[in-house]
């Protein structure tokens, strides 16, 4: 079986690659565990001279988001014990956000749902010009619950965060760049050169200053209350008839969904 997350150290760069291209890099439990282990290693690599982490994905798509196969058929145990499940995912993304190294997320193709929440936990988001970003959870009858609402508000403000979270629509790169959702956009043929420029700039700075500067900025706003609210709301929504119908419709590709409001 191939590795779900591939880690590679080259000079000052520690690279973490999502590696489920055949499933559009859909994120499942095992991949989350591997991602957590990768960032445990990132801290060790920082002590060993690494200066920047790059998260990227194999294939044409960064990630379609969470693997819906985890919810089909609906897992009653998960519905009744969602808080530990959500808290574990939140803790992994918090670990990424708190990483001592600056973290660059390289986006191509689609970056949706949980995948965008992953990107939001990174310090910089650099995208190929045709990438599409979105939080489609409302179309599944749920909300982003791994820091998506909290980090989105901090990054682009409440009004724009409500636009993405409540409508579930995707946005293209010009709008994402204008909103500050991504830091830079490059033609696909120039993406790697653009990433290398960012890496060179970060590596040229004093590593402790970069690390402590990141920590100071991250600690200005405490995420904890918002994360608790996300987990509470999701625990209600995942029990709903709307969620059950939405998951089945997505898997069966039967639209539109007949929302019941219950």
52-91 pLDDT, tens digit per residue, is: 999 999 999 999 999 988 766 656 666 666 778 888 999 9
pLDDT of residue 98: 94
Strand, helix or coil at 55?
Answer: strand
In the structure encoding, which two tokens stand for residue 142, read together?
Answer: 């749920």
> Can you read off the two tokens belonging to residue 69?
């196969």
What residues act catalytically?
117, 137
For residue 175, the 8-state DSSP code is H
List domains and CATH numbers for the chain: 5-191 (3.90.226.10)
CA dist 53 and 61 (Å) reads 19
Q: How confident is the model at residue 10 (pLDDT cuts 50, 70, 90)?
A: very high
Is the pTM for the entire model greater than 0.85? yes
Q: What is the pLDDT of residue 249?
A: 75
Mapped onto helix, strand or coil, the DSSP state of residue 128 is strand
Cα 141–Cα 142–Cα 146 angle in degrees, nearest 5: 165
* β-bridge pairing 132-134 and 184-186: unpaired
CB 117 within 8 A of CB 133: no
Q: What is the pLDDT of residue 73?
A: 62
Q: Which of 158, 161, 82, 58 is nearest to 116 (CA)?
A: 161
Residues 177-224 have pLDDT tens digits of: 999 999 999 999 999 999 999 999 999 999 999 998 988 888 776 666
> In 10 A of CB 128, how many CB atoms?
21
- Tell me which residue of 40, 139, 19, 142 sits closest to 99, measured CA to CA: 40
Q: Collect all residues with Cβ–Cβ distance below 8 Å to 160 and sequence separation of at least 6.
A: 152, 179
């Amino acid at each position: 079986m191939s590795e779900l997350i591939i880690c590679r150290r080259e000079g000052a760069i520690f690279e973490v690659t999502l590696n489920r291209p055949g499933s559009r890099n859909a994120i499942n439990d095992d991949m989350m565990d591997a991602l957590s282990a990768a960032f445990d290693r990132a801290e060790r690599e920082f002590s060993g001279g690494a200066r920047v982490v790059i998260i990227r994905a194999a294939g044409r798509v960064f990630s379609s988001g969470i693997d819906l196969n985890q919810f089909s058929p609906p897992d009653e145990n998960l519905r009744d014990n969602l808080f530990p499940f959500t808290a574990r995912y939140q803790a992994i993304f918090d670990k990424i956000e708190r990483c001592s190294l600056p973290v660059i997320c390289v986006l191509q193709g689609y970056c949706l749902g949980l995948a965008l929440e992953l990107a939001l936990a990174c310090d910089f988001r650099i995208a190929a010009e045709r990438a599409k970003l979105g939080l489609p959870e409302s179309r599944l009858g749920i909300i982003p619950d791994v820091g998506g609402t909290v980090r989105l508000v901090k990054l682009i403000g409440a009004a724009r965060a409500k636009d993405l979270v409540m409508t579930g629509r995707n946005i293209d790169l010009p709008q994402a760049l204008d909103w500050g959702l991504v830091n830079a956009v490059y033609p696909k043929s120039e993406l790697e050169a653009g990433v290398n420029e960012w890496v060179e700039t970060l590596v040229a700075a004093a590593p402790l200053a970069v690390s402590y500067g990141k920590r100071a900025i991250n600690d200005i706003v405490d995420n904890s209350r918002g994360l608790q609210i996300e987990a509470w709301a999701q625990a209600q929504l995942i029990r709903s008839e709307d969620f059950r119908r939405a998951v089945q419709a997505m898997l069966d590709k039967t639209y539109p969904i007949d929302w019941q409001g219950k």
